[in-house]
Amino acid sequence: MTSAISQLGLVVHPTRPVDTALRDIRAWASERDVKVAQLDVPQDSWPVDGPVWAADCDLLIAVGGDGTALSALHAGARVSRPVLAIACGSLGALTTVSAERSAWALDQFESGSWTRVPIPALDVNWANGQSRMAINDVAMIRDDPGQIIVSITVDDVLYARVAGDGLVVATSLGSSAYTMAAGGPILAPGAEGMTVTPLAPHGGSCPPLVAGKDSRVDLTIETGRIRVRYELDGRRTPVEERLLTVRVRPDFATVVGLNQAEARLTGLRRRGLVVDSPRILARDLRDPS
């Protein structure tokens, strides 16, 4: 089934080499009398075209890296628009199409040779009524010298009270970002739910936890003099409240899935984020066959 396109919306990374991708996108659009404009998103962006609302676009295109793709996904989720993420630099978890294949990717979308890949998010609600969505993760981090104490409760059952630098809650997609760097688990594609990973815990025993897709995680930070900052998808969120609830929203956004796209686990190996044991690498050097 073909996809009718009359308007493309761009989100462009401010510093990456985006010229090749933008040239090919504009040439493709010009040949089909398709309009191209730029979304107004809350991030630094290289001004390349006039502004457009996401709701007026048939397809949003993120040109840059995974951070750019996250901004486009948040914009697209609010108005149910799919996102095509094009990598200018290394391929990531979301940017699975290289800049040189921009026109090919648009051909695939136009011809209907693509699949809707649902992207989950975390529905984060504070006790004071504030709420936000995070596609990768929400982190609570000490913002003063000292430690913060966080109580972790899953479906009304206390799991642990942790003293340390804070913790990070991640979606299955986001589990290969901050969570993995903090020693937490990676959820493979197809796994649902969320991970809860303490940051530099001081003593005790609190292994990283995987909660189910229908679970509710309540996090309570003990009151005290130490300030706490919240980061959602790596962006600081000014909230003073110390009690929050996190749930999974399974189909928050949509990314364009194309044939020949690299598997997510393969991408982790290619980028060196997951590496075989040294003994195995040494054996492979001795016997390449």
Annotate 209-229 with b (16+ C-beta within 10 A) or e (fewer).
bbbeeebbbbbbbeeeeeebe
Catalytic residue selected from 66, 137, 218, 233? 66
Sequence spans of domains, the chain: 7-113+259-281, 121-250
Tokens describing residue 209: 């936890």
Q: pLDDT tens track of the chain, all 289 residues? A: 566 899 999 999 888 888 899 999 999 999 999 999 999 776 555 556 678 899 999 999 999 888 999 999 999 999 999 999 998 877 778 887 889 999 999 999 999 999 999 999 999 999 999 999 999 999 999 988 989 999 999 999 999 999 999 999 999 999 999 999 999 999 998 899 999 999 998 888 899 999 999 999 999 998 778 889 999 999 999 888 889 999 999 999 999 999 877 888 888 888 888 999 999 999 989 887 6
Task: Judge whether 27 and 82 are in contact, CB under 8 Å.
Answer: no
CB atoms within 10 A of CB 192: 14
**Correct CATH for 121-250 of 1.20.210.10, 3.10.20.30, 2.40.30.10, 2.60.200.30:** 2.60.200.30
Q: Residue 4: is it exposed, middle or buried by C-beta count within 10 angstroms (0-12/13-18/19+)?
A: exposed
CA atoms of 262 and 253, how far apart (whole Å): 20
Tokens describing residue 198: 């303490």
In sequence order, what are the residues at sequence separation of 6 or more whose Cβ sits closer than 8 angstroms to the Cβ of residue 230?
138, 139, 140, 141, 236, 237, 239
Active site (annotated) includes residue 137: no
CATH number for region 7-113+259-281: 3.40.50.10330
End-to-end alpha carbon distance in the chain: 45
pTM listed for this prediction: 0.90
